[in-house]
Amino acid sequence: MSLITIERKILEKNDAIASENRKNFSSKNIFAINLVSSPGSGKTSLVERTLNHLKNKTKIVVIEGDVQTDLDAKRIEALNTPVVQIVTNGACHLEANLVRDAFGQLKENNIEILIIENVGNLVCPAGYDLGEDVKVIIASTTEGDDKPLKYPAMFRNSSVLIINKIDLIPFVNCSIDAIKKNALSINPTLKIFEVSCQTGAGIHEWCDWLENQIKNE
Amino acid sequence: MHELSIAQSILDIVNQHLPAGNTTHVKSVKVKIGKLSNVLPDSLRFCFEAITKDSDFEKTLLILNIIPITIKCNDCNRLTEINDYVFSCPSCDGTNINVVAGNDLNIEEIEIE
């Protein structure tokens, strides 16, 4: 009987491809976002708002991840934005190789921002690096203010928190201050934006921040 | 259910470490799982059993070593194991901290006979 002692990361294959993706994006001066949230928080609506706000000044491309359908890609295409839809056929998260292959299908030059919309899920995508510059997490007011405490890994691994659906605050049992307090207890360095993709409130501030990131690339 | 692809990755890595020839039996595989890694131990055990059924690894024991979250305060240097997912220093209330353990998702050891 013998023991083989190794110390190998189980997700090393994904991490290696993610790191190639990161190098690739960085060499092209692309700022890459991994957009995560639970289903129905408003990821695609945020992408649409962002595209409408920035489309005349910034070259943005989108990779959509969904378990089924190309409904989201159609919404992005309608805004004349290059998009590739990844259908995971049941898988609960995107992996770095899927993003590499999808990015390879985009024939655009001079891309400034790549938005990767992950599968709606606050658990599994947390462990999978895609090669992004930042993870942006959306928490919407209709989900309640305890989400950060229930899904700490995802909030811990994100750099930006977008609180969406602030227009619904009068109708839901949720406090924006409590979302912030809970999120900051898990990740004190989170940059937070409060938006409504329905009314457009707060989108300007988010897009300003995004534009500044391109300048820093 | 990303535990299924994690179980598959464990088997892939174990296979890479087995000596040439097909005579060895893998008795156990020891895996470190950090509490911040978002892997559910029971679910991983279930998936590992499912994918090793009727294979050479059917009798391989999956040993899970659960690693608590430890933070290090960059202001006062204190190391603290946390259970409540509050990422601030209990000593000085500082939030300038690093997670030094708890993200782990590693294979540590393979026992063969």
pLDDT for the residue numbered B86: 87
The class (CATH top level) of A12-216 is alpha beta
CB-based contact (8 Å) between B31 and chain A? Answer: yes
Q: How far apart are CA A27 and CA A25, in angstroms?
A: 6
Chain-chain contact of B6 with A11 (C-beta, under 8 angstroms): yes
- Give residue B17's Cα distance to chain centre: 18
Q: How far does the CA of residue A57 sit from the closest CA of chain B (Å)?
A: 36
Secondary structure (3-state) at A7: strand
pLDDT for the residue numbered B113: 86
Structure tokens at A130: 């895609």
Mean pLDDT of A19-29: 97
The yes/no answer to whether this complex scores an ipTM above 0.90 is: no
pLDDT for the residue numbered B22: 64
- Give residue B35's Cα distance to chain centre: 9
pLDDT for the residue numbered A132: 98
Arithmetic mean of pLDDT over chain A: 95
pLDDT for the residue numbered B84: 86
The residues pairing with A33 across neighbouring beta strands, listed in sequence order, are A115, A134
Q: What chain B residue is nearest to A188 in terms of C-alpha separation? A: B95
High-pLDDT (> 70) share of chain A, %: 100
Whole-Å CA distances, A160 to A90, A190, A191, B13 = 27, 5, 5, 34
Arithmetic mean of pLDDT over chain B: 93
Assess whether pLDDT exceeds 80 at residue A135. yes
The residues pairing with B10 across neighbouring beta strands, listed in sequence order, are none
In chain B, where are the structural domains located?
3-112
Q: How far apart are CA B48 and CA B61, in angstroms?
A: 9
Q: How far does the CA of residue A88 sit from the closest CA of chain B (Å)?
A: 12
In chain A, where are the structural domains located?
12-216
Q: How far apart are CA B73 and CA B38, in angstroms?
A: 23
**Chain A (153-172) residues lying within 8 Å, Cβ to Cβ, of chain B:** 153-154, 156
Which residue is associated with the tokens 């056929």?
Answer: A89
> H or E element: which one contains B101?
strand B97-101
Chain-chain contact of A5 with B85 (C-beta, under 8 angstroms): no
CB-based contact (8 Å) between B80 and chain A? Answer: no
Assess whether pLDDT exceeds 80 at residue A163. yes
Cα dihedral sign, A154-B29-B62-B102: negative
Structure tokens at B65: 């070593």
Cα dihedral sign, B85-B91-B95-B101: negative
Which residue is associated with the tokens 């938005």?
Answer: A115
Q: How far apart are CA B100 and CA B108, in angstroms?
A: 17
pLDDT for the residue numbered B1: 66
Q: Which residue has the higher pLDDT, A34 or B1?
A: A34
pLDDT for the residue numbered A48: 98
pLDDT tens digits for B1-40? 689 999 999 999 999 998 877 678 999 999 999 999 989 9
High-pLDDT (> 90) share of chain A, %: 90
- Give residue B20's Cα distance to chain centre: 26
Assess whether pLDDT exceeds 70 at residue A217. no
pLDDT tens digits for A173-209? 999 999 999 999 999 999 999 999 999 999 999 999 9
Q: How many CA atoms lie within 13 A of B26 on its CB side?
A: 26
Chain-chain contact of B9 with A11 (C-beta, under 8 angstroms): yes
Q: Which residue has the higher pLDDT, A94 or A91?
A: A94
Please provide the CATH number assigned to the domain covering B3-112: 3.30.2320.80
